[in-house]
Amino acid sequence: MTALRFALKHRCAIRIWTDCQSAIAAFATHVRDGLPVRANSKHCDLLRSICQLASAIGPGCVEVLKVPAHVSQASCSNDLERWLVCGNEIADGIAKSANVARPAATWALWSAYSDQLDLCTEQASLARAHILAVSKFRNESASMDRPVVPQVSRPLRLARAQPEPFLTWPAELVLTGPSFRRFFGLDLFRRVSAWFSNIRASGSPIQWISFHQLFISFQKRQGPVHVSKIGGVWKVETGEVASLANHMRMGVRVKFFRLMLQQFLKDTSVHFTTATVRPASHWISCFKGSLAIDITHDEHNFVEGFLAAQLPEPASGTGKTLDRLHL
């Protein structure tokens, strides 16, 4: 909130770095996505103030990015990461010093509040124990002769329909639609075209490759490139500016990359298939949005090697461990 006040006072765009994932998630939910703050939610007064300040500064002028916490500078690979880790340590030290420097009245109020909280917790425990005792007495005293009600058999769940993968590629990639040029520009068109020509082979089998895998391949071959949509406007960044987005959650970056890629395929008259399936990967063992593509064996192995180096085990369930990937 203090950083936003600074930005509003000086009428400037601002980039805020933090190691608190919950703060980043709250900002994305209530400021970027516009979800209203409930009056009974945690930190509602603080969140409402942040929403008002961000609105006054303007959409697209505030960016909140993740800093890795408790990381040694020796493990950093470039000056940007070292600057982030060093700055985060300094900020933590200042926060601790500010907390210790609070006046005596603050600590007296805090002690009184803690004592009252302990008393309330004790009283709540006694009430909870009494309720459980009454419930136990009732269950032991009640007659267990209840009529047996036959259970209704649940219908069998149909398997998820999976489309047949197909891919029809034109002889030459030419923009036949206006949207990609208007949203993303010709430089990104050339990058994506060159990338596709290097990772595809007509003799390779068409298989499901997740957009996470494609995103990793594109960033490693043509990056750093950061595509985002702020206030309904697409934004494309490259070079050092784009590398700042490496600390954003992977799922958000992949979502924008997928939308960009699908627009590219539509505007170049490529007939393609997408589906939420288990992709051809040992390390992504969960359902993810995927594209049917004839990727080369070498490129597939390259991406698998990258995943193996960063994941302790294959991503399963909802695939949240993929958000830990760092390009």
3-state secondary structure the chain: CHHHHHHHHHCCCEEEEECCHHHHHHHHHHHHCCCCCCCCCCCHHHHHHHHHHHHHHCCCCEEEEECCCCCCHHHCCCHHHHHHHHHHHHHHHHHHHHHHCCCHHHHHHHHHHHHHHHHHHHHHHHHHHHHHHHHHHHHHHCCCCCCCCCCCCCCCCCCCCCCCCCCECCCCCCCCCCHHHHHHCHHHHHHHHHHHHHHECCCCCCEEEEHHHHHHHHHHHHCCEEEEEECCEEEEEEHHHHHHHHHCCHHHHHHHHHHHHHHHHHHCCCECCEEEECCCCCCECCCEEEEEECECHHHHHHHHHHHHHHCCCCECCCCHHHHHCCC
- Kindly tell me if the per-residue pLDDT of 281 is higher than 90: yes
**pLDDT (0 to 100) of residue 306:** 93
**pLDDT (0 to 100) of residue 142:** 66
- Kindly tell me if the per-residue pLDDT of 204 is higher than 80: yes
**pLDDT (0 to 100) of residue 148:** 61
**pLDDT (0 to 100) of residue 136:** 85
**pLDDT (0 to 100) of residue 161:** 66
- Kindly tell me if the per-residue pLDDT of 209 is higher than 80: yes
**Mean per-residue pLDDT, 250-267:** 94
**Mean per-residue pLDDT, 273-280:** 93
- Kindly tell me if the per-residue pLDDT of 60 is higher than 90: no
Percent of the chain predicted with pLDDT > 90: 53
**pLDDT (0 to 100) of residue 69:** 81
- Kindly tell me if the per-residue pLDDT of 157 is higher than 80: no
pTM: 0.58
**Mean per-residue pLDDT, 100-106:** 91
Indicate the domain borders of the chain. 2-100, 179-324
Q: Which residues lie below 8 Å from residue 219, measured CB to CB, with a gap of 6+?
A: 225, 327
**pLDDT (0 to 100) of residue 120:** 86
- Kindly tell me if the per-residue pLDDT of 225 is higher than 90: yes
| Among 172, 185, 181, 17, CA closest to 89 | 17
**pLDDT (0 to 100) of residue 254:** 94
Q: How confident is the model at residue 153 (pLDDT cuts 50, 70, 90)?
A: low
